[in-house]
Amino acid sequence: MQTMGSRQLAPKGMRRNGCGGLYGGDLGILYRPGIASLICSEIKSMDLTAIHQRMVRNVFLNIEILLNDGVQSLSEYDVQAFAFLYFARVLLNTPFRCERERVRRVDCVVYEGNHPRIFYEMKTYFKPHERMTKALFDKDIKKMAEILAGHDSASAYFLIAGSREAFASERLDEFDFISKHLRENDRAWYSYEYEKDRQVRLRPSQKQHRGQSVLITWEIKV
């Protein structure tokens, strides 16, 4: 049975997971087989880059829905929850899973079995009193650098989200790495000093900024 030309209902009393598998419970919806196959093949090949890209888009759209409904007091916990729920859905019944605030309370961690594969640390700026500070950025990046030193096969991303006002040019004077990411599409690695004589490498990753909010990410390597 087809609905809306592109989605297929699961049999009564069953639901579909992100890779097209069935599991018991309420009636659920399965996207076109091509979409489900794409998600499943990416997971099986352990290529989580496309999953990261869609997670960023999904979180951004959820933020936009709330802002359009007049919800202004979004928190870091809300954004963390959007990311976690997306991963929980698409990684269901695969060797991968997502956990929140594990491994030194990192915001989200994607595991393959018991092995961390991706770490996410997040900062949000939706409330009027919230201001970006280099000290807080450096603290999070330092934590990720220390974690990556003990997990050399893992990846890490730093995510910043906020209202458009939070990313106004006059607020980014001391954050050239943010304004450059918003202006340009350069994906080259560069060095970032988070402490005197201590550096990581950052690479601009996904960004979404055509709405009432901005969401941008960087990949981190030590």
pLDDT digits (tens, 9 = 90+) for 49-91: 899 999 999 999 999 999 999 998 899 999 999 999 999 999 9
| Separation of CA 201 from chain center | 19
Angstrom distances, CA of residue 148 to CA of 21, 44, 94, 122: 33, 24, 24, 16
What per-residue confidence (pLDDT) applies to 192?
97
The answer on pLDDT for 119 being more than 60 is: yes
- Residue 101: band (very low, low, confident or very high) from pLDDT cuts 50, 70, 90: confident
- Residue 210: band (very low, low, confident or very high) from pLDDT cuts 50, 70, 90: very high
What per-residue confidence (pLDDT) applies to 102?
76
Cα distance between residue 206 and residue 158, in whole Å:
11
The answer on pLDDT for 38 being more than 70 is: no
What per-residue confidence (pLDDT) applies to 35?
47
The answer on pLDDT for 19 being more than 80 is: no
- Specify the higher pLDDT residue, 120 or 46: 120
Q: Kindly state the DSSP code that residue 11 receives in the 8-state scheme.
A: P
- Residue 218: band (very low, low, confident or very high) from pLDDT cuts 50, 70, 90: very high
Cα distance between residue 18 and residue 30, in whole Å:
8
Comparing CA positions, the residue from 124, 152, 156 lying closest to residue 220 is 156
pLDDT, tens digit (0-9, with 9 covering 90-100), for 171-187? 998 899 999 999 999 99
The arrangement of strands across the sheet holding 106-112 comes to 96-102, 106-112, 115-125, 155-163, 213-221, 198-208, 190-195
- Specify the higher pLDDT residue, 12 or 52: 52
* pTM of the complete model: 0.79
